Copies of this chain bind each other. A is one copy, B any other.
Amino acid sequence: MAANYKALTEDTAMEYVKKNLDIFSEEAVLRCKEIGDGNLNLVFRVWEEISSKSIILKQALPYARIVGEAMPVTLDRARIESEALMLQGELCPALTPKVYRFDRDLYLTVMEDLSDHIILRKGLIEGKEYPNFAENIGEFMAYTLFFTSDLGMDQVRKKQLQKKFINPELCKITEDLVFSEPYFDAAGNKIEPHLLDRVEENWKNKDLIKEVAILKEGFMTKAQALIHGDLHTGSIFVTEKSTKVIDPEFAFYGPMGFDIGAIIGNFILNYAAQPAYMEKDQQKLQHYRSYLLESIRKIWQEFYKEFIELWEIHVKAPIESSNLYKEVYMRNLFEDTLGYAGCKMIRRIYGLAGVADIDNIKELVKRSRAQMLALDIGEMLILKRREIKDIDEVIEKIKSFD
């Protein structure tokens, strides 16, 4: 930890803003509130009533309280997060919160206040629709992944960037929680008693474990692009018109499909949960689930369209211009996407970290139904990803579980 590191309070956060930033006028009367969940980071909102100007200060804490007690977590994640935000902001300014400053002593990022947005996961749980979201996130992924890959940037610069984003500690969390612990009787798993038989089936399923091992290897070795690394619906702020991707502290050079799969997998988790929330209005339920499935289709299609367009415009090298290669590349990306979507779903059902879409379902029978559906779809995506023809078939297969 840097010698000058000190966790801020609401008072010292305001002092910091006055002393170091010229966002507010000198006479401004500031107010401040800590609005984080206090688990890994402090999040201060600082604002001025009169001008209604506001900013966010996000400071990394040197420990996590995820398992009840304090566990040390590298502060370097704050540097990675702010550098990733700045890079993503250059590539997709409309879809990334603005970063005003990163303070290397305090591991503090000063950035745009998005208090008029809500977390996408919350919106989806409430049954809200976001008509621009699929297009926005497709564009975000296409631009951030293409332009940090060997296709969209100089090979030498890419490796220098890769070096800056080597992120061993946070990758380890994913390697353990997503790709390891759900597949054996690990102490960290949180298995509800009614799930135990189904979970034990997974532990005995040799094909499933083989495929997860292959996907895990890809996560650990396939340095394709600077991925967000944690692109679930809790890492995205939305309004009806706006999309902002936040919290890229897990960013590193990894497989592109891990980002696309994260977002698709989390839409499917919500799809699995919705019958519990909307059971009293079957028409609404049907409509909303169609919306979710259409979103999944459009996320992939938008990503695909934009990515291929960038490829055609920007890649001049004779080898990488090969159309046959393009086909193989996009097919592999599709299969990775499905596999990672499946892994991201399964771990949320009985791994260490649950997900509100499912966990908020109070009634056991309904929760169990959602969990089983998520486990079945997740497993199907992992095992069948090489056979599934296209995104339409994914949608058909998801529907067929009902």
A residues lining the B interface (CB < 8 Å): 150, 155-160, 162-163, 166-169, 171-172, 175, 179-180, 183-184, 206-207, 209-210, 212-214, 216-217, 220-224, 317-320, 322-325, 328-329
Q: Is the CB of B155 within 8 A of A319?
A: no
Give the dominant DSSP class at A's interface. helix
Of the candidates A172, A213, A323, the one having the most CB atoms from chain B within 10 angstroms of its own CB is A213
Known: A150-B217, A207-B324, A328-B210. A160 touches B166 (CB 8 A): yes
- A206 to B318, alpha carbons, bound, how many Å? 11
Q: List 29 A-B contacts (CB under 8 A).
A: A150-B217, A150-B220, A150-B221, A155-B172, A156-B169, A157-B168, A159-B171, A162-B166, A163-B163, A180-B317, A180-B318, A180-B319, A184-B318, A184-B319, A206-B322, A206-B323, A207-B324, A209-B319, A209-B325, A210-B322, A210-B325, A210-B328, A212-B319, A213-B319, A216-B319, A217-B329, A221-B221, A221-B223, A221-B224
Q: Is the CB of A325 within 8 A of B163?
A: no
Q: Is the CB of B319 within 8 A of A179?
A: yes
Copies in the complex: 2
- Residue on B with the closest CB to A216? B319
- Residue on B with the closest CB to A207? B324
Specify which chain B residues have a CB less than 8 angstroms from the CB of A222 in the assembled complex. Answer: 221-223
- A171 to B156, alpha carbons, bound, how many Å? 8
Q: Is the CB of A160 within 8 A of B156?
A: no
Minimum CB–CB distance for A397 against chain B, Å? 23
Known: A150-B220, A206-B322, A210-B325. A163 touches B160 (CB 8 A): no
Specify which chain B residues have a CB less than 8 angstroms from the CB of A168 in the assembled complex. Answer: 155-160
- A106 to B313, alpha carbons, bound, how many Å? 45
Q: Is the CB of A318 within 8 A of B183?
A: yes
Of the residues B156, B221, B317, contact of A172 by C-beta under 8 Å: B156
Specify which chain B residues have a CB less than 8 angstroms from the CB of A323 in the assembled complex. Answer: 206
Specify which chain B residues have a CB less than 8 angstroms from the CB of A172 in the assembled complex. Answer: 155-156
Known: A150-B221, A171-B155, A221-B224. A213 touches B320 (CB 8 A): yes
- Residue on B with the closest CB to A184? B318
Of the candidates A159, A163, A207, A319, the one having the most CB atoms from chain B within 10 angstroms of its own CB is A319
- A217 to B332, alpha carbons, bound, how many Å? 12
- A206 to B328, alpha carbons, bound, how many Å? 13
Specify which chain B residues have a CB less than 8 angstroms from the CB of A183 in the assembled complex. Answer: 318-319
- Residue on B with the closest CB to A327? B210
- A217 to B222, alpha carbons, bound, how many Å? 10
- Residue on B with the closest CB to A167? B159
Minimum CB–CB distance for A180 against chain B, Å? 5
- A212 to B328, alpha carbons, bound, how many Å? 12
- Residue on B with the closest CB to A220? B150
- A172 to B159, alpha carbons, bound, how many Å? 10
Minimum CB–CB distance for A219 against chain B, Å? 10
